[in-house]
Structures are given as structure tokens and as C-alpha cells.
Amino acid sequence: MFLDVTGRDDASTNSGDHRGAQQPLIVAKNMTVGYKLHRERKLLTALRDITLTVNRGEFVCLLGPSGCGKTTFINAISGIVLPWEGTIEVDGAPVTGPGPDRAMVFQDYALMPWRTVESNIRMPFEFQKLGMSKQQIDERVERYLDLVELKGFEKSYPYELSGGMRQRVGIARALATEPTILLADEPFAAIDAMTREAMQSELERFVTKTRQTVVFITHSIDEAITLGDRIVVISRRPGRIKEVLDVNLPRPRFDQDVKSLPAYSELRERIWSLVKDEALSGAHGEE
């Protein structure tokens, strides 16, 4: 059985060159987000004055020092935190909470340990009212189990799987509802180098086929360059957008040896100096 990726909404509405189409999907305007610290009775600004547009079908990587607010950014897109100031809109409507059009892959997998692989992938269908019949859901779950090659592990529990397999469950769970936007919070950070490369390659292939919109957090400059259409470098806390860089490298990048291209090393140098600046500049942004 083939996975019929043409059946996906965002793929069909995005035929043609996605970079030419330029259809804004996520629009953040002067967004400031933070947290209430209950214990110290004060407010902590995590992101300040963020203005960014992510287009439909685009793969955007967020890069920045630890604690700069990358997770906060995708939490704001997912709707589990709301902006203090400014606005964030998805598909023309302000974000007021989580929705089935956005799904997330977590750094620590965040799989329910008491649910089997299959049941974990099924979970979003239980919580979200998608208007799908039981049979349609079964089909979906099976299709995405198959996509991440976990057939035969349906009845396994997460603790019985390797790290790479667990994250494939996380990816299948996020993709199964066929969300418009895939949010990924360092999904491959805890996975060994070889498996990571294979999974990056798979993700790139999947994304180029489906024109999935992705916002992807990473600590790795190489991962950002090999996966992203654009790279957003964020400064120390409170995070601001320091620079947005286009990645003009041919795709699919994993099949070709893009790392040997001069454009690759040039971009790498550039980002490295930006990130290094941030790492060395010290805590100038403390409130």
C-alpha cells in the first residue's frame, strides 16, 4: 500500500514552486511573550518584539543560544502560550489556543508511557474533533505507522523502543492528523548521529513531497542548513530576531553532496559568526 501523499490538502493547494507562491501562513507582528514566575512574583520576558512571516510550504529553522526563547516561539504558534503584546496569526486568524492545524514533535518525545505505539499515534484523534469515522482514523494511523516503518511495533510500549524509534512514533503522531503546520522542537537532538542523519534525510524527502510547512528548532548549524529554506537566528534572552538567512541550496540536499559546495561553507561561516557573537556577548539582555 502506498502512502497517498497527494491526498493532503496543503500539497494540493501548493502545486507549483512554493517559494514563488509566497502565501503567508504564520504571521507574528511585534510579538512579546513571557512567563509569570509564581515563586518570585515577577514576569520574565522570553521573546521580545518578534516580527516574522512563515509562508505556506516553507521550512523555517530557528537557531539560537539556549534559553533564548525558541521553544517559547513554537509554543506561541501552537497556542499553549499566548502573546503579551503584539499578535500572532495562523492562516489569517489570531491564535487563541491549540488547534488541529498545528502539531508538534517534542525533543523528549513526550509519548504517553502507558499507551502503545499505535495508541499514542491515535491520541490526537481522540482529543480533536476532526469529523473522521473510526475506519478513516484506523486507516490514517496504519498509514503513518507504515510511513515511519514501525509496522510490527504497534503493540509495543515506548519504553520497549530505542530513542530513534520513539521519535518516529512522535513524528507519526504529529503527522497523522495531517496538520497544516508541523512544529518540531529539536526532534533529533537526543538521537545518535547515524540515525539522526537518516531521519533528517527522511524528513527532507517527506517535506519536499508534501510541501509541509515546518518550523524546526535546532542547535545544530548543519542541521539548519541542510533542512531549512530559511534560518532565523535569535539573540539571547529576551530573544529578538537577529538575522534571517535564505538557504539557496538545491534540494534534495541529502542525495547530493551539498556540504562540499562553496555556498554551504560560506553560509555556515556566516551563521557560525552570528551564533558565536551571541554566545560571547554575555547576558546583555537581562531585565
Partner 1 sequence: MELGKGRSSVRGAWGRIVADTETNTPTDPKSFEDKDRIRTAGFSVGGLWDQYGSHVVTVVNLICFFILWEVFARSGVVNKVFFPTASGMFGTLWEGLTRSAPPDAIISGQIIDHLLYTLRTLSIGVTLACLLGVPAGLLMGGNRYVEKILSPYVWGMASLPRIALVPLFILFMGFTVKMQITIVTLSALFPIVINAWAGVKTTEKSLIAAAKVFGASRTNIYVHVVLPYTLPFIIAGIQQGIGRGMVAVIIAEIFGGSNGLGFLITRAADTFNSELMYAVLLLLVIISLSFIKITRMIEIYIAPWRQQVVM
Ligand X SMILES: Nc1ncnc2c1ncn2[C@@H]1O[C@H](COP(=O)(O)OP(=O)(O)OP(=O)(O)O)[C@@H](O)[C@H]1O
The residues of the shown chain that bind ligand X, judged by CB under 6 A, are 35, 37, 44, 46, 64, 66-72, 237
The answer to whether the beta carbons of residues 35 and 43 sit under 8 Å apart is yes
Give the position of cell 514563488: 20
Q: Is 3 in the site for partner 1 (CB under 8 A)?
A: yes
φ, ψ at 96 (rounded to 5°): -115, -10
Is 137 or 217 the residue whose CB approaches ligand X more closely?
217
By a kind-dependent CB cut-off of 5 to 8 A, residue 27 interacts, out of partner 1, ligand X, Mg ion, none, with none
Is 49 or 195 the residue whose CB approaches partner 1 more closely?
195
> Of 241, 261, 242, 243, nearest to 251 (Cα)?
261
User: What is the per-residue binding string for partner 1 in 6-35, x denoting contact by CB under 8 A?
Assistant: x-----------------------------
Among 37, 80, 82, 263, binds partner 1 (CB under 8 A): 80
By a kind-dependent CB cut-off of 5 to 8 A, residue 112 interacts, out of Mg ion, ligand X, partner 1, none, with partner 1
| Nearest approach, Cβ of residue 80 and partner 1 (Å) | 5
Q: Is 280 in the site for partner 1 (CB under 8 A)?
A: no
Query: Residues with Cβ < 8 Å from 132, sequence gap 6 or more?
Result: 125, 140
Distances (CA, A) of 85 to 31, 47, 88, 153, 263: 6, 10, 10, 45, 38
Q: Is 159 in the site for partner 1 (CB under 8 A)?
A: yes
By a kind-dependent CB cut-off of 5 to 8 A, residue 68 interacts, out of partner 1, ligand X, Mg ion, none, with ligand X
**Eight-class DSSP state of 79:** T
| Nearest approach, Cβ of residue 258 and Mg ion (Å) | 27
| Nearest approach, Cβ of residue 44 and ligand X (Å) | 5
Contacting partner 1 within 116-135 (CB under 8 A): 123-124, 126-128
> Of 58, 51, 47, nearest to 23 (Cα)?
58
Which string of b and e fits 128-161 if b means at least 16 CB within 10 Å? Answer: eeeeeeeeebeebbbbbbebbebeebeeebbeeb
Among 14, 45, 55, 71, binds Mg ion (CB under 5 A): 71
Is 45 or 55 the residue whose CB approaches Mg ion more closely?
45
Amino acid in position 268: R
Which string of b and e fits 172-185 if b means at least 16 CB within 10 Å? Answer: bbbbbbbbbbbbbb
Let me know how many helices (H) and strands (E) the chain has, helices first: 9, 10
Give me the residues that bind partner 1 (CB under 8 A), please.
Answer: 2-6, 75, 78, 80, 98-100, 102-104, 106, 108, 110-114, 123-124, 126-128, 146-150, 157-159, 162, 164-165, 168, 173, 177, 183, 194-195, 198-199, 201-202, 205-206, 209
Return residues touching Mg ion (CB under 5 A). Answer: 71
